[in-house]
Amino acid sequence: MKKTNLMLVLVAAMATAVSCTPKKETPKMLVLYYSQTSNTKAVAEEIATRLAADIESIVPVNPYNGDFQATIERCLRDREQGVVTEIEPLKVDVSQYDVVFIGYPVWFGTYAPPVATLLNQVDLTGKKVVPFCTFGSGGLESSVKDLAAQQPGAEILSGYGVRAARMEAMPQEVDQFLKASGFVEGEYTQLEDFGEQHPVSDEEAVVFNAAVDGYPMLHAQAKTVAIRAIPGGTEYQFTAVDLPREDNPNMPPAGELQVYVMAVEGSAPVFTRVVR
């Protein structure tokens, strides 16, 4: 009888110990984004859906509703005149979240003005911040640098960027990004590092030229390249130099740049981003 009572006491003690073990709290996540053409909105909704996160758009008081050229002209004019883009007040309280995803289109190498205004209004100190963006050629790295400078108290995590011309690849890439970043459980492809840069061969030059052909904002010549295997093909990291622009010969070249190109079997090579 005494032995039975002892066993009951031990079981009760173990149950109490288990019940007292604190549960790991799930971080509260928010997706904030500004989108003009709906591309960034599509990425934001993909992320929010996969994470079951709250989501809200950043809305300018005076919307950017013109075409590409009109938007560029307005941004230049606002810069010259020192105009700050006003935005509508957020409905959510950002201070209540642990992880904040911030999305934007890249304009002039950084986040669009409505996001600049937001970052001047909120304090993300102590929060994990995950940037994501859409762009014509690149700008993830430069915009993340600006974001970190604007919010020095935040922990800026690795971001995700996608060209507007590659939106069909976005859902799969977001899935891999969230898994690799630890936000979603599941298997993902861990890519090997690029090899050493070597002079571009004739065959590699053909790949580069095919990838950038027809893109009006990129006039460059590949000099060296590093490669790595990716599922179904090869990824190239080209080091290239800017060439004079035929449509604007007075514009000075920007110098050396990195151009990332994917060549998947059965598809034409496509560049995924440019890092200037």
- Yes or no: say if 33 and 104 are a contact pair by the CB < 8 Å rule: yes
In a domain, 75, yes or no: yes
Assess whether 45 and 164 both reside in one domain. Answer: yes
Assess whether 176 and 203 both reside in one domain. Answer: no
Assess whether 251 and 154 both reside in one domain. Answer: no
Assess whether 174 and 205 both reside in one domain. Answer: no
Q: What per-residue confidence (pLDDT) applies to 255?
A: 81
Assess whether 71 and 120 both reside in one domain. Answer: yes
In a domain, 66, yes or no: yes
Assess whether 56 and 153 both reside in one domain. Answer: yes
Assess whether 161 and 236 both reside in one domain. Answer: no
In a domain, 62, yes or no: yes
The residue from 180, 208, 224 where one domain ends is: 180
In a domain, 12, yes or no: no
Our count of domains for the chain comes to 2
In a domain, 2, yes or no: no
CATH number, domain with residue 125 = 3.40.50.360
Q: What per-residue confidence (pLDDT) applies to 18?
A: 46
Assess whether 173 and 37 both reside in one domain. Answer: yes
Q: What per-residue confidence (pLDDT) applies to 46?
A: 98
Assess whether 202 and 130 both reside in one domain. Answer: no
**CA distance linking residue 276 with residue 265, whole number of Å:** 28
Q: What is the mean pLDDT of each run of 10 residues along the chain (276 residues)?
A: 48 47 78 97 98 98 91 92 96 98 97 98 98 97 98 98 97 98 96 97 98 91 97 97 73 80 96 96
Full residue range of the structural domain in which residue 260 is found: 198-275
Its pTM surpasses 0.85: yes
Exposure of 81 by Cβ count < 10 A (0-12 exposed, 13-18 middle, 19+ buried)?
A: exposed
* Best CA proximity match to 55, nearest among 29, 88, 26: 29
Q: What per-residue confidence (pLDDT) applies to 10?
A: 44
| DSSP-assigned states of every residue in 14-69 | HHHHHHHSPPPPPPPEEEEE--SSSHHHHHHHHHHHHHT-EEEE--BSS---S-HH
H or E segment to which residue 168 belongs: none
Q: What per-residue confidence (pLDDT) applies to 249?
A: 61
The residue from 130, 153, 180 where one domain ends is: 180
In a domain, 6, yes or no: no
Q: What per-residue confidence (pLDDT) applies to 216?
A: 87
Q: What per-residue confidence (pLDDT) applies to 217?
A: 85
Assess whether 166 and 224 both reside in one domain. Answer: no
Assess whether 116 and 39 both reside in one domain. Answer: yes
In a domain, 17, yes or no: no
Assess whether 169 and 54 both reside in one domain. Answer: yes
The residue from 180, 208, 237 where one domain ends is: 180
In a domain, 205, yes or no: yes
